[in-house]
């Protein structure tokens, strides 16, 4: 499902009202162009809706195209409904489709966030301060709670999907894998969705997908918070050459190294929160987002 090569000129031709179109950012199955629309910083996202060059089975091609369109529509719908400042906002260019050569494309726009992704912080081996870690946990939990208000879970919480605005506020991005627990999953049967290194144990087993709820997102947040405190993943060293199976086995069965080894100044209450988030079973985590939010708020008052 690779996105075809698009140029700045292609985007300008498609959207004549856009200004200051920047070189594209490529990642996953998307290509993203920062620009301005009516003087507002914006990003336009393009996804391929056709995979005929990858699969020859026409029926399968149609199914996957429908999956891409449904997933994109779902992402746009979720963002439009959310009111939390910690969830990305839509831009002024609505969801649409276009043709580029022989490729069918889907596009939509979001606000452009001035800031840094958490992934870039971790790449530079920077650890967040204790207060920043608590604020990260609090604000992403608020985003999880906002999704859960609509019966949704994110399923792909990871450093690359968290931005820190220049004012220090954390924002959750990329609702493309968000899962509606009230209806059948749009994900193809048997396919595990998410980024393996940040999956919850229940997310690694496709037969348990109907059991997923906000506590699955809590587990992923626990991995991110551990990494922010310790400077490493709780279950393995990502620099190791691990197979997909090795990663899933570690998440399912291994215990993390004690956080106090890596961050001696971390308060016991913060360590307890992270350890609970990393509970192998959902019932070992927090029973509600509000309970977790309260814990973070209480802890921030003490720091």
**274/294 Cα distance (integer angstroms):** 14
Give pLDDT, residue 183. 44
Helices 268-277, 130-149: crossing angle, 10 deg rounding:
40
Domain ranges for the chain, please list them: 8-111, 115-302
Does residue 57 register a pLDDT over 80?
A: no
Each as own residue / partner, the long-range contacts of residues 130-134 (CB below 8 Å, 24 or more positions apart, any chain) are 130/229, 130/265, 130/266, 130/267, 130/270, 130/303, 131/300, 131/303, 132/168, 132/228, 133/225, 133/228, 133/229, 133/270, 134/270, 134/296, 134/299, 134/300, 134/303
CA 149 to chain centre: 18
Structure tokens at 15: 């959207």
Q: In Å, how far are 87, 94, 152, 153, 290 from 146, measured between CA atoms?
A: 8, 22, 9, 9, 11
In terms of Cβ atoms closer than 10 Å to its own Cβ (0-12, 13-18, 19+), residue 207 is exposed
Q: Please name the CATH architecture into which domain 8-111 falls.
A: 2-Layer Sandwich (3.30)
Taking Cα atoms as reference points, which of 61, 66, 39, 37 lies closest to residue 51?
A: 61
CATH 3.40.50.1370 fits 115-302, yes or no: no
Looking from the CA of 19 toward its CB, the CA atoms found within 13 Å total 6
Tens digit of pLDDT for each residue in 59-101? 333 344 667 677 778 778 888 889 999 999 999 999 888 888 7
Is 57 one of the catalytic residues?
Answer: no
* 80, 90 contact by CB (below 8 A): yes
Tens digit of pLDDT for each residue in 245-280? 888 999 999 999 999 999 999 999 999 999 999 999
Structure tokens at 19: 């200004």
Does residue 5 register a pLDDT over 50?
A: yes
Please give the full DSSP string across 138-196, using - where no structure is assigned.
Answer: HHHHHHHHHHHHTTEE-S--SGGGEEEETTS-EEE---TT-EETTS--SSPTT---S-G
Give pLDDT, residue 2. 64
* Same fold for the pair 8-111 and 115-302: no
Tens digit of pLDDT for each residue in 168-187? 999 999 876 555 444 444 44
Structure tokens at 6: 């698009």
The active-site residue, picked from 10, 104, 156, 174, is 156
**157/135 Cα distance (integer angstroms):** 16
**195/58 Cα distance (integer angstroms):** 28
Does residue 25 register a pLDDT over 70?
A: yes
Q: What is the mean pLDDT of residues 29-36?
A: 90
Looking from the CA of 276 toward its CB, the CA atoms found within 13 Å total 17
Give pLDDT, residue 55. 31
**270/299 Cα distance (integer angstroms):** 7
Structure tokens at 172: 């959750």
- The beta strands (E) that lie in the chain are given as 18-19, 25-27, 30-37, 40-48, 96-100, 103-111, 115-117, 152-153, 162-165, 170-172, 179-180
Give pLDDT, residue 101. 79
Give pLDDT, residue 142. 99
Does residue 44 register a pLDDT over 60?
A: yes
């Amino acid at each position: 499902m690779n996105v075809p090569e698009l140029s700045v000129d292609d985007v300008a031709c498609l959207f004549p009202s856009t200004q200051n179109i920047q070189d594209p950012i490529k990642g996953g199955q998307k290509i993203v162009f920062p620009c301005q629309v009516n003087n507002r910083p914006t990003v336009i996202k393009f996804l391929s809706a056709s995979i005929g060059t990858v699969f020859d089975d026409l029926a399968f091609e149609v199914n996957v195209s429908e999956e891409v369109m449904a997933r994109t529509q779902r992402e746009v719908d979720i963002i439009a409904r959310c009111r939390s400042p910690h969830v990305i906002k839509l831009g002024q260019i609505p969801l649409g489709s276009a043709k580029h050569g022989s490729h069918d494309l889907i596009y939509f726009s979001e606000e452009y966030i001035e800031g840094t992704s958490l992934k870039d912080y971790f790449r530079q081996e920077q650890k967040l301060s204790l207060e920043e870690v608590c604020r990260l946990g609090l604000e992403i939990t608020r985003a999880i709670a906002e999704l859960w208000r609509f019966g949704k879970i994110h399923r792909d919480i990871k450093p690359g999907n968290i931005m820190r605005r220049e004012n220090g506020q954390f924002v959750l991005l990329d609702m493309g894998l968000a899962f509606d627990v009230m209806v059948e999953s749009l994900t193809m049967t048997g396919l595990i969705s998410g980024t393996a290194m940040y999956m919850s144990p229940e997310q690694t087993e496709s037969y348990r997908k109907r059991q997923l709820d906000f506590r699955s997102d809590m587990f992923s947040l626990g991995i991110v918070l551990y990494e922010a405190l310790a400077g490493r993943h709780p279950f393995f060293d990502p620099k190791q050459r691990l197979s997909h199976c090795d990663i899933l086995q570690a998440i399912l069965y291994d215990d993390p190294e004690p956080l106090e080894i890596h961050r001696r100044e971390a308060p016991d209450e913060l360590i307890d929160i992270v350890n609970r988030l990393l509970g192998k079973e959902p019932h070992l985590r927090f029973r509600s987002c509000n309970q977790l939010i309260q814990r973070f708020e209480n802890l921030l008052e003490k720091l």
